[in-house]
Amino acid sequence: MKRIPQVPAETTPKEDKLADRVAWRNPKVYSGSYDPVILKEWIREMEKIFTVVEVPKEKRINIGTYYLTGEADIWWNTMKDKLVGSEFTWNKFLSELRAKFYPVVVQRQKGERVYGVEDEWHHDCDAIC
The whole-model pTM stands at 0.71
Check residue 15 and give its pLDDT.
45
Check residue 72 and give its pLDDT.
96
Task: Report which DSSP code applies to 10.
Answer: T
Lowest mean pLDDT among 48-52, 56-60, 88-92, 99-103: 99-103
Check residue 110 and give its pLDDT.
64
pLDDT category of residue 16 using cuts at 50, 70 and 90: low
Q: Which parts of the chain fold into alpha helices (H)? A: 18-23, 36-53, 57-65, 70-83, 90-101, 104-109, 117-128
What's the CA gap between 129 and 77, in Å, rounded? 30
The answer to whether the Cα torsion of 46, 63, 27, 12 is positive or negative is negative
Check residue 24 and give its pLDDT.
93
Mean pLDDT on 80-95 = 88
pLDDT category of residue 86 using cuts at 50, 70 and 90: confident
Task: Report which DSSP code applies to 33.
Answer: -
Class of residue 79 by CB neighbours under 10 A (exposed 0-12, middle 13-18, buried 19+) = middle
Mean pLDDT on 16-45 = 92
- For residue 120, pLDDT over 50 is answered with no
Residues in the chain: 129
HSE at residue 13, side-chain half, CA atoms within 13 A, is 15
Check residue 102 and give its pLDDT.
84
